[in-house]
Amino acid sequence: MSETLSRRSFVKWSGVAGGSAALVATAAQLGMPQARSEAVDGVADAEATVWSACVVNCGSRCPLRLQVKDGTVVRVLPDNTGDDTLWNRQIRACVRGRNMRERIYNPDRIKKPLKRVGAKRSDGEFEEISWDEAIDLIAEKLQYTYDTYGPEAVYKQYGSGVWNAHVANSGGWARLLNLLGGHLNYYGNYSYLQISQCTRYFYGSPDEQISNSIEDAIENSKLLVLWGNNPLETRMSGGGNTYTATLAKKAGLKIIVVDPRYSDSASVLADDWIALRPGTDAALVAGMAHVMITENLHDQDFLDTYCVGFDEKHMPEGAPKNASYRSYVEGKGEDGIEKTPEWAADITGVPASKIRSFAREVATAKPANIAQGWGPQRHANGENSANAIYLLAALTGNVGIPGGGTGGREGYLWPYTPWIDDGVNPVTTAISCYKWTDAISRAEEMTATRDGVQGKDRLEVGIKFMVVYGSNMLASQHGDINRTREILDDDSMCEFIVGMDNQMNASMKMCDLVLPDTTTAERWDIVPSEYTGDMAYEIMIAQAIDPLYESRSSIEVTGAIAERMGIGDEFAEGKKTTEDWARWVQDTARENNPGMFPTFDELIEQGVFRYTSPDGPTVALKEFRDDPEANPLATPSGKIEIYSSTLAQMAKEWEFPNPLPGDELTPIPAYVETWEGQAEARTNEKYPLQCIGHHFKGRTHSTYGNLESLRDIHHQRVWINDADARKRGIVSDDRVTVSNDRGTISLPAMVTPRIVPGVISVPQGAWIEIDKDGVDHGGAVNMLTSLHPTPLAKGNGQHTNLVEVAKA
């Protein structure tokens, strides 16, 4: 291992109270270069260079240096601290963050509070009002909702446009609602709702189970499998996994990508591409398991010691005969079908010979890190796909060892710095974050066993007051845009919607009151790393310019509402400004980690503070692997549950009224045919193509979707295979329509062999441009997706859609 890849080149440890150790060295303390002359890479006569950040939900967090002249941001510069070593790398922003000036000064900026005057929400008609009028209106509507319907009628919409700044992330909205009496909770998020719910039945984790980090893979792995995992597009920049993944490639680590689309990660990183049909991951795993079992390549000792449910000898008490995973693979289970590579090939489209060679490679590479992304679980029965990939890691004995992994997404060091205290929600009732449209339109029908309601048996009241802050769920990121707009247009159901953002996106146009938020250039905050690997860091966001127009930071607005409603002192606890809240974050981080973090004022100058774990690179479930008796998992057995008795019981109790194919729970991660899946695609003459969505370099979800410079460079085009295009007389750059019974979009085609035949992919997050005929010319994939939930998590199976493509 070269010195460039060695963590010894950066680490310096110091004892900390409580017996722990923490990294205290910074680049400055080690005498590393901090900055170049601004005359070289900036504006020579700029009056100030202020640290800021790109804060969006890409998994990265990147520092920016905003150069200010005459009260205006005149240039955006990247991080200039650190170097090119693994443990002190520069956190260089990608093309999105580097275009921050266009976001700050965009024509779509919301300038003043706006009140709806249109007959219905989708008319998007508003009048300007004052801040005093806006705050009075919010206070009035909130109080009315609490008095008339109770706290469960109040809902704060999921959104990730401000994810995960320590102050702006909640912006005080949850704190405000909790102090007023609470609000309806949601569980999960649109990124990984299915895996966040199914993991508890396999590994016992209440959230997704991370795998080993890429940093660990660089040092210890023989193989890295990126399964539905595309870091070079989803987690770009030095703050994401682009740097570590490319470093793994340079270090000689073999990388295999499993994906229906030949993504940039496949193009740049992969030694091999396994091109499978969407939603067939569990079938591919079963075919691989058949090879491993018949050729005795599986790790039987690991399965016997750490797992239940693999074979008939290790089943939980009361389980039916031949219900183990091995029996399922060998054809002894209920369906009687042997899961040979030929069986899997017919379903997945991957040749049987390829399945055999792939299985042998995964089984014999010791150790191997199988790192699944969040694409496989975002399908109609995505819970089984996710657990099947977990199972592959257990089958090969890779769990809990250096160089191995759990089958989850690449590991990371979670930040030590705190978010603002939102308090405790007195309401315990929760719905899936994807079921909010149901909680508006059919709330009193929603139950625990039918709709996944948590905290009580059923809902008693629908959502009547909704806060939409930093969220584009109302008209972009949620499924079935047309049906969602219909539900929201009926304001006898959800009576009042208040939105807050700095850009007038389609969701803001569906609100009754719109509030102008600041951008990161106009407020204070502290930004943590998140999914950025084993080098964690925090970034200073210092206010660079005065708030434009009449924009205000969310924490100041919620504080004003709290004051108006008589809880101002309790809300603020002595903090008057956004800077006061940001200082609280840093002061609290220093109190919780003595001797580790710089002061707030030191961070203003330093900009970025890096740190790593004293335990070294992430090796997930190491304690369990070392001593499963002393460190049991939180499953009923304390072991990895390949067969879950809990899921078996839930399968008997849960209800699926008017079920579609795939609406079922299985105690093992079996392959289940689903609605609008590969089997239906072969027989559906009207809509024969499977449609998925993919993350896109020009946007983070819908954030930055209105920046013309990015739209000029990264074109919104539908990917379609050459063979499918030829059948339809389509060539690249032809404008086409993509349609199903839920909607129609129009956009140019990209004809390419980089996607599986029979499958198309539309970059997700496009801003809608719906014409008088209902056709969206922005190319938003959610015009085509469904509100039908997945069976276990009640989640967003938004990659499961059948469509047809035609020349426009």
User: Exposure of 388 by Cβ count < 10 A (0-12 exposed, 13-18 middle, 19+ buried)?
Assistant: buried
Confidence of residue 57 (pLDDT cuts 50, 70, 90): confident
Is the distance from CB of 671 to CB of 662 less than 8 angstroms?
A: no
Return the structure tokens found at 487: 């539900």
* pLDDT at res. 23: 33
* pLDDT at res. 17: 26
* pLDDT at res. 733: 98
Residue 41 in this model has a pLDDT that exceeds 80: no
pLDDT tens track for 71-106: 999 999 999 999 988 999 999 999 999 999 999 999
Residue 36 in this model has a pLDDT that exceeds 70: no
* pLDDT at res. 44: 84
Return the structure tokens found at 37: 């002359």
Query: What does the H/E/C string look like for 632-649?
Result: CCCCCCCCEECCCHHHHH
* 3-state SS assignment for residue 166: coil
> What contacts 532, CB < 8 A, 6 or more positions away?
59, 60, 61, 235, 239, 240, 241, 412
Q: Which residues of 505-535 are buried (b: 16+ CB within 10 A; e: fewer)?
A: bbbbbbbbbbbbbbbbbbbbbbbbbbbbbbb
Residue 30 in this model has a pLDDT that exceeds 70: no
Beta bridge partners of 539: 527, 608
Residue 150 in this model has a pLDDT that exceeds 90: yes
* pLDDT at res. 26: 35
Lowest mean pLDDT among 57-61, 372-376, 499-503, 747-751: 57-61
* pLDDT at res. 237: 86
Residue 620 DSSP label: T
Mean pLDDT over the full length of the chain: 94
* pLDDT at res. 15: 26
Q: Are strands 114-116 and 513-516 parallel, antiparallel or unpaired?
A: antiparallel
Confidence of residue 5 (pLDDT cuts 50, 70, 90): very low
Confidence of residue 688 (pLDDT cuts 50, 70, 90): very high
pLDDT tens track for 773-789: 999 999 999 999 999 99
Distance CA 309, CA 180 (A): 47
Confidence of residue 27 (pLDDT cuts 50, 70, 90): very low
**What average pLDDT does this structure show over 319-345?**
98
Residue 19 in this model has a pLDDT that exceeds 80: no
What value, to the nearest 5°, has the Cα angle with vertex 642 and ends 636 and 648? Answer: 65
> What contacts 313, CB < 8 A, 6 or more positions away?
304
Count CA within 13 A, CB hemisphere, residue 223: 22
Q: Is the pTM of this model over 0.85?
A: yes
**What average pLDDT does this structure show over 205-221?**
97
What value, to the nearest 5°, has the Cα angle with vertex 68 and ends 66 and 73? Answer: 70
Distance CA 800, CA 803 (A): 10
Q: Which residues of 767-800 are buried (b: 16+ CB within 10 A; e: fewer)?
A: bbebeeeebbbbbbbbbbbbbbbbbbbbbbbbbb
Beta bridge partners of 744: 739, 775
* pLDDT at res. 21: 30
pLDDT tens track for 234-278: 988 888 888 899 999 999 999 999 999 999 999 999 999 999 999
pLDDT tens track for 458-483: 999 999 999 999 999 999 999 999 99
Phi first, then psi, for residue 788 (nearest 5°) are -65, 125
Is the distance from CB of 681 to CB of 689 less than 8 angstroms?
A: yes
* pLDDT at res. 59: 84
**What average pLDDT does this structure show over 593-605?**
98
* pLDDT at res. 393: 98
Percent of the chain whose predicted confidence (pLDDT) is above 70: 95
* pLDDT at res. 504: 98
Percent of the chain whose predicted confidence (pLDDT) is above 90: 91
Is the distance from CB of 344 to CB of 350 less than 8 angstroms?
A: yes
pLDDT tens track for 269-306: 999 999 999 999 999 999 999 999 999 999 999 999 99
* pLDDT at res. 238: 82
* pLDDT at res. 35: 38
pLDDT tens track for 512-565: 999 999 999 999 999 999 899 999 999 999 999 999 999 999 999 999 999 999
Phi first, then psi, for residue 80 (nearest 5°) are -125, 20
Residue 442 in this model has a pLDDT that exceeds 50: yes
Question: Domains in the chain, ordered, with CATH?
Answer: 114-184+427-517+552-573 (3.40.50.740), 195-413+634-653 (3.40.228.10), 678-807 (2.40.40.20)
Residue 369 in this model has a pLDDT that exceeds 80: yes
Confidence of residue 42 (pLDDT cuts 50, 70, 90): confident
Beta bridge partners of 115: 127, 513
* pLDDT at res. 2: 35
Residue 796 in this model has a pLDDT that exceeds 90: yes
User: Which residue type is seen at 150?
Assistant: G
Tally of CB atoms within 10 A around 713 = 12
* pLDDT at res. 34: 38
DSSP secondary structure of 362-424: HHHSSSEEEEE-SSTTSSTTHHHHHHHHHHHHHHTT-TTSTT---SSSPP-PPP-SPPP----
What value, to the nearest 5°, has the Cα angle with vertex 780 and ends 774 and 785? Answer: 85
Return the structure tokens found at 317: 């008490």
DSSP secondary structure of 35-103: ---HHHHS-TT-SEEEEEEE--SSS--EEEEEEEETTEEEEEEE--SSBSSGGGB-----HHHHTHHHH
Count CA within 13 A, CB hemisphere, residue 310: 24
**What average pLDDT does this structure show over 568-574?**
98
